[in-house]
Amino acid sequence: MNKITAAITAVGAYVPDFVLSNQVLETMVDTNDEWITSRTGIKERRILKDADKGTSFLAIKAAEDLIAKANINPLEIDLVLMATATPDMQVSATGAYVATQIGATNAFAYDLQAACSSFLYGMSTAAAYIESGRYKKVLLIGADKMSSIVDYTDRTTCIIFGDGAGAVLFEPNHEGLGLQDEYLRSDGVGRDFLKIDAGGSLHPTTIQTIEEKRHSIRQDGKTVFKYAVTNMADASEQILKRNNLTNEDVAFLVPHQANKRIIDATAHRMNLEDSKVLMNIERYGNTTSATLPLVLNDFEHLFKKGDTIIFAAFGGGFTWGSIYLKWAYNKQ
């Protein structure tokens, strides 16, 4: 019997209709289009304006898109993994609600949180379930309503983040395609540099924490940038070395869409030409857990069966890593 590998067999995505452009941000905070574009590569981001809709709404839409395109029965899904840094609420797992709403009532579901590395880590988790032989269809969703935790008076963060969701289906493969290797890392030194300070068990919600805006995301931009450039590039380089891959072997790099300069540095370390580096940061900004699947969805038409694809991400915590995957199908 051939070894079971875990292959991506379908993708789906959803972004809200409302576009928050750099020009609109200029009317909200002290910034401008040239400054934002030159430092981040972002021109616009999508925002879920409905106050009564959370991350689950985005996730459901992305999952429904995948189900419709792949023409699969939701009852056949064994597991729903929900990668998110912005769950609908504490305690009650967003993934469980999403699974029920999409009709995956035979699946078990839970949330996975590793900041911007959530989807990357979720790929590793989904693959392990498939490779165990006990599960045939694992739906991995990356979704975040980042606008719910952004302070739109803080120009250092409000220019970066957007809302969105993407989903992929992992299934067993016996041709040697799918996830080949992973290089995943973390370092708790990052705890103080990218965080939401209050609302957790360390600093529970009080009137004071609300008044001090300690429930919004904050970052030490220079420190985060330095760590991200070094570690995302290093992880990608390590995955190539471990698998005796050269830049010629790589069909595409699918990087976390946090900052164009970070992506460029990673691509430079891998010695990749621009056409192999996939980016949509200009249109969506940093959608955190949704960046990788949104890239897959936008560029799915380019992928050919057997293509070597390298994924890379970096997130708060700090968390980071790289995954080597062989694409399993040609889009019809």
Q: In 10 A of CB 154, how many CB atoms?
A: 15
146, amino acid identity: M
Catalytic machinery residues? 116, 256, 286
* Contact in structure between 144 and 207 (CB atoms under 8 Å): no
pLDDT in tens, 147-205: 999 999 999 999 999 999 999 999 999 999 999 999 999 999 999 999 999 999 999 99
Q: What is the pLDDT of residue 272?
A: 96
Cβ-in-10-Å burial (0-12, 13-18, 19+) of 43 comes to middle
- pTM, to two decimals: 0.97
Distance from C-alpha of 328 to C-alpha of 332, rounded to nearest angstrom: 13
CA 183 from chain centre, in angstroms, equals 16
Cβ-in-10-Å burial (0-12, 13-18, 19+) of 270 comes to buried
Q: What is the pLDDT of residue 2?
A: 78
> What stretches in the chain show pLDDT beneath 50?
none
pLDDT in tens, 25-59: 999 999 999 999 999 999 999 999 999 999 999 99
Distance from C-alpha of 183 to C-alpha of 232, rounded to nearest angstrom: 10
Domains present along the chain, CATH in parentheses: 5-177 (3.40.47.10), 179-327 (3.40.47.10)
Q: In 10 A of CB 320, how many CB atoms?
A: 31
Cβ-in-10-Å burial (0-12, 13-18, 19+) of 332 comes to exposed
